[in-house]
Amino acid sequence: MPETERVDGGNGARPGIVARLDKLISAVAELFSTRTQIFGEELSRKGAHLARGIAAATLAATLAFLAFLLLAGLVAAFFARILGSAWLGVLVALLLYAGGAALAAVLAIRAFGRVRPLDFPVTSREISSDWEAVRRAAGIEPEPGAPPRLPEPPTPSEGFEERLREGWE
């Protein structure tokens, strides 16, 4: 055996499992340490970009808000000029903005009503099928009182005509 292959003091025996595991663990630790340093460097660069982006977005939002206030004043001045009274112009502008806000609130409530945050039918169906596959692979039979499985709804990729034919519409 060449001299370079002897690792345990020169007796010619191959290193044991403990020595191999020790080498493996030290190699993994060194690799993890290197990857952690690389990740930290990349994260710090991304953090700097994120901070600059947040500062610019905050400035843009502030200036947009001020522009909106100026627009509101312009609308009030326009109505004051048309109606001949400053108070009446401000009141009409206020009613206009309040009506727009009410309309936006109604649209938001309708949209939020459709969210259903705990309803994930496709995901739950896929998890159920995965669980059944694991049970079949383990040789576990379904429980005798278990409800029968409902037919699966069509995937979004199926056409409208096919869904109508199957009765899912």
Residue 148 confidence (pLDDT) above 80: no
Consecutive H or E run containing 149: none
The pLDDT of residue 1? 45
Query: To the nearest whole number, what is the mean pLDDT of the chain?
Result: 82
Q: Which two three-digit tokens encode residue 61?
A: 């939002």
The pLDDT, as a whole number, for residue 88 is: 95
Decide which of 137 and 160 is more confident: 137
DSSP alpha helix (H) spans, the chain:
17-83, 86-113, 121-138, 160-166
5: confidence class by pLDDT, cuts 50, 70, 90: very low
User: CA 56 → CA 50, 60, 62, 125, 147, distances in Å?
Assistant: 10, 6, 10, 44, 56
Q: Report residue 122 as tokens.
A: 């496709």
Please state the rounded mean pLDDT for residues 16-35.
88
